[in-house]
Amino acid sequence: MDEGSPAVDPAALLEQARGALDAAYVPYSEYTVGAAVLTEDGSVFTGCNIENANYSNSLHAEEVAVGSAVRAGHRSIVGVAVSSGARDGVTPCGMCRQTLAEFGDEDIPVYCDEGDGEWTEHRLGELIPDTITPEMLGVDPTERAAGDDAAGE
């Protein structure tokens, strides 16, 4: 995490993730997930899982939170919290871990809600070691300005 990044308050970030649970659309699994991402400037964006009858089209809470942050012009995540209605310590899946790695480094904390005010803390690099990076693809993401759009919107 950069020196200029805000301090991460795990309890507050988890509360934001829990707050997103009520919006989850889960008619098939009935397993609600909420996520919150903290950006470099201290903004928090939340997301919930959104299921679809064609399961492969379902959206994960972490993806929705990251998408909201990116849509608002943020490109750097410094903390993540994930909660489920079951408060079972759910961690981001592999796909979501890769999405988080696109916008955060291996040291960002990932807090997983265990319930009763308890959580586990992981570092993103522990959850997804040797992630695929823009640099591996010969891309320098810092050269792209926020809001650049190849489609020409």
- Residues that are catalytic: 62
CA–CA separation, 150 and 31 (whole Å)? 36
Amino acid at the residue 112: C
**Residue 53 backbone dihedrals phi, psi, to 5 degrees:** -55, -30
- How many Cα atoms are found within 13 Å in the side-chain-facing hemisphere of 140? 2
CA–CA separation, 129 and 143 (whole Å)? 25
Query: Residues 38, 12: contact at Cβ < 8 Å?
Result: no
DSSP label at residue 96:
H
Considering just the CA atoms, what is the radius of gyration of the chain in Å?
Answer: 15
